[in-house]
Chain A
């Protein structure tokens, strides 16, 4: 038992990326410029600076924020600002250029993205974009977590829970309370995409997990002796028929993740418990129609954690799927009265900070952060179609620290944004947010209620 109370804190530090993103705007100065340098006066960001000879220099594209003052103040109409096609080509329809830019900002600074003017995006969208958070107003006072005046807990527990506790006549506890592991943020790192994972990427991830006091999943086949130092924060993922082969790993890990197969779950559980009685066992499988029943079966048979993932490519084509996945599994388990027995983790499609509390509201206990940390390190979301030597995931040894800091910054910024949401909703801890759909508003519901025929 700790006697000294320690407040959870994520230390963020500036970590500029190795390769900058292409600028959003392209500023062009045409030859009819007469060097009056009105643009130098107009631009408060320093895009238009005079060179040493007094002649105006080429515009510095990176600094442009698209305010158009140079265009308006140029007496010759010699400047134009346009969208950079290279920026527009970033990512894909789900990991849009603006999302990638936000991730870069968060990974570089660790700060909450703040901007002026109202919201600029679509009215609503699919999946996570069809959900709005509720907040407290007048009644139910809000909390102030972000400025540190009130403590809001973002901790969640991994593991199995009892439905009730039993006591004997002397009021002594007779129930055998299963072990749980508390992590201070409702996020773990999913294993990197299989296309171009590298040892150094895994290492950076493990280091970040250790700093954040959470877990990173690593495929047992890629487990190397370099990870030994971080083993307290690693979850090895093992194929169900290879449990014996990786018995040493099972023995030294706090949590073991088994790739779900048609084999006997009870058997696999028994095998792991025999090797390491205190390890939590997580079952990992992709979302499909049978996922709710499978999760229920795992809860019945004594698994600790169910980890369901949706392929990033599938989310890109159908962003609604992750929302449906979480809702269906959570509701099914609730109906079967098994929901509170296990921990539910969902990964796939987590692209921005708001997706973490939205997943939790839909019914997850925690989320697996996946490809987005790779994007923070420069991943182009090509799913392995680029030449391997160009892949930014091939980290050099000297880049591990930078990568670790960028991942830490990203999660630091996300936690602060989680605090904003929890504070706004008047919640003191993220545990109480799980499945609270009543504290969210859904596009389909509102649309049907207000503009549809529904009463």
Chain B
């Protein structure tokens, strides 16, 4: 095993810039044409020469319009620089937040998080310009901090990738039951996204990135396209209630089988692929008729009890005795009971999908109101398994609202072993969280779509490089956190005892709402 670890080489970082000419910048430079003397000083003093390529001198011939200058490629660094504004001899320039930036994103995925994830996907770096750690939802991860974050408010460091690389690997099978240990070099793998909810190109890009990082991605509940077979050692087969495209062959092919009992975005409701997205290609893999809405009914009707659950796990073992079993559950009031039930049923991995998780389509009422956020579920489950004395025999993977490297680290500090990443990977591919994945042609960005033309927006090599870059940046951030906390590896970040906050503090963590002296 050690040898294998040594053999693993970090994938190469290569710039993967946006394939579009336009960009969404955080700041825009406004030029007052009535004052501008066209001297060009602004272009000279700008550290990234943003002016030079965009001040359209020819445009000056038509003074009725052309009053505006947009910052190209989002490169204006904003009011902290302001060199052009100060140096302009005729006071014609001003810098302000761009309207795009103000309209982009939401409280959970703020515009800063989206733009920062894009930046990390392009160049594998973070910059001072964007908040890259937390969103603005006012609770959970957004209120949790590592203690060292309180000391230096500005912890942005330009090049975290050059940090000393600490060990961030985790082991997925802790049962010592003769099945492979399955070590992955970083504490994350890719979430379940079906062919149908996302395009084949996206699946392939994700699988290729997973191969490069020697981790995993998942088929979701939409069958196993033949094109994915070349990555079969890095693709998880999901078995969900609709059993779309699930057969003995796809179960035998995989190293990990996911039994999906519930999904955080729509727990208790089952899946739903609207008819528009069931194209002939999708229908073929799912073994159904095209252009008909597909329901994955809830629940598994062969599993009404923990005993049934045990038999379900056994059934998978009968088909593929070497595969690890991952059980994907969401977070009801009795999530701790579900967890211990899954342990006794024989699961190797317990994936806890919190209520704020991603989806290709879900009723809004379910996304907001059903199941608790993962920030609560992790300590509850971890503590229960610690008390039962079985915590070190099962791997807990957190998912559902984990957006950044810091979210992953906080989830681990709250009792998970690692995290499962969905939306962040899609954002790396260019998702803007516009919530239009569900109907018609699906995603206008060509990600969550089955439209045969739109899918070509995502080039497989480009896409996998963007995901590789994002994870490289994340690995740098984890190393940074571990160095600050004086920990050798990320497994030490996970508490061994129960998670118990006192006066808003626990281990390395503080919760700002409860912090007291």
Q: Which residues of A contact B (CB under 8 A)?
A: 25-26, 30-32, 42-45, 65-69, 71-75, 77, 79-83, 102, 112-124, 131-139, 141-142, 144, 146-147, 149, 352-354, 358, 417, 420-421, 423-426, 438-441, 446-447, 449-453
Contacts and interface: CB of A to CB of B under 8 A. Distances in A.
Contacts of B174: none
Contacts of B504: 451
Pairs A-B, 5 closest by C-beta atoms: A116-B437, A123-B139, A31-B65, A424-B268, A82-B99
B137 interface: yes
Interface stretch (B145-153, B278-286, B302-310): B302-310
Interface stretch (B76-84, B85-93, B211-219, B440-448): B440-448
Given A123-B138, A425-B268, A112 B513 contact: no
Mostly, the A contact residues are loop
Contacts of A424: 267-269, 298, 366, 370
A121 B291 CA distance: 32
A453 B365 contact: no
Contacts of B298: 142, 144, 423-424
Nearest to A84: B103
Interface in B355-406: 355-373, 375-376, 379-380, 400-401
A132 B359 contact: no
Given A43-B444, A132-B372, 7 more contacts: A123-B139, A123-B373, A135-B262, A135-B332, A142-B268, A144-B297, A441-B376
Interface in B303-321: 303-306, 308-309
B180 interface: no
- Give the one of B54, B103, B338, B359 with max A CB within 10 A: B103
A352 B368 CA distance: 12
Interface of B: 18, 20-24, 54, 56, 59, 62, 64-66, 68, 70, 72, 98-100, 102-104, 106-109, 137-140, 142-143, 261-262, 264-265, 267-270, 272, 274, 295, 297-299, 301, 303-306, 308-309, 329-330, 332-333, 338, 341, 355-373, 375-376, 379-380, 400-401, 423, 431-441, 443-445, 448, 454, 499, 501-504, 511, 513-514
Contacts of B441: 44
A115 B70 CA distance: 32
Nearest to A441: B372
A26 B109 CA distance: 21
A61 to B, nearest CB: 13
Contacts of A131: 369
B23 to A, nearest CB: 7
A143 B280 CA distance: 31
Contacts of B361: 114-116
A65 B268 contact: no
Contact of B502 (A26, A352, A423, A453): A453
Contacts of A119: 108, 265, 355-356, 367-368, 401
B498 to A, nearest CB: 11
B504 to A, nearest CB: 7
Contacts of B437: 115-117
Contacts of A139: 304-306
Nearest to A452: B514
A268 B363 CA distance: 46
- Give the one of B22, B375, B439 with max A CB within 10 A: B22
A118 B359 contact: yes
- Give the one of B59, B272, B365 with max A CB within 10 A: B365
B330 A137 contact: yes
Contact of B103 (A43, A81, A116, A451): A81
A114 B362 contact: yes
Nearest to B362: A114
Contacts of B23: 71-72, 77
Given A32-B65, A75-B21, A451-B514, A116 B139 contact: no
A453 B503 contact: yes
Contacts of B269: 142, 146, 420, 423-424
A77 B376 contact: no
Contact of A136 (B99, B332, B368, B511): B332
Contact of A138 (B338, B363, B503): B338
B436 A65 contact: yes
B332 A83 contact: no
A408 B356 CA distance: 31
Mostly, the B contact residues are loop
A113 B364 contact: yes
A37 B503 CA distance: 59
17 contacts: A30-B66, A65-B436, A67-B432, A71-B22, A114-B274, A114-B362, A116-B438, A118-B367, A131-B369, A134-B333, A142-B299, A354-B365, A441-B372, A452-B514, A453-B501, A453-B503, A453-B514
Contacts of B272: 114
A102 B364 contact: yes
Nearest to B358: A118
Contacts of B306: 138-139
B370 A421 contact: yes
B260 to A, nearest CB: 11
- Give the one of A138, A142, A440 with max B CB within 10 A: A138
B511 A118 contact: no
B140 A123 contact: yes
B222 to A, nearest CB: 15
A420 B365 contact: yes
B435 A135 contact: no
A426 B140 CA distance: 28
Contacts of B137: 121-123
Given A31-B62, A81-B99, A134-B333, A120 B363 contact: no
A71 B103 CA distance: 13
A73 B65 contact: no
B107 A122 contact: yes
Contact of A30 (B65, B104, B338, B433): B65
B367 A83 contact: no
A137 B261 contact: yes
Given A137-B332, A138-B299, A123 B142 contact: yes
B412 to A, nearest CB: 16
Nearest to B449: A44
A68 B432 contact: yes
Contacts of B299: 136-138, 141-142
- Give the one of A68, A82, A121, A453 with max B CB within 10 A: A68
Given A135-B371, A137-B332, A353-B365, A118 B22 contact: no
A45 B454 CA distance: 13
Contact of A82 (B100, B303, B304): B100
A32 B66 contact: yes
A96 B172 CA distance: 45
Nearest to B108: A120
Contacts of B139: 122-124, 447
A424 B362 CA distance: 13
Contacts of B142: 123
A75 B22 contact: yes
A71 B21 CA distance: 9
Given A68-B24, A447-B513, A451-B511, A118 B370 contact: no
B444 A44 contact: yes
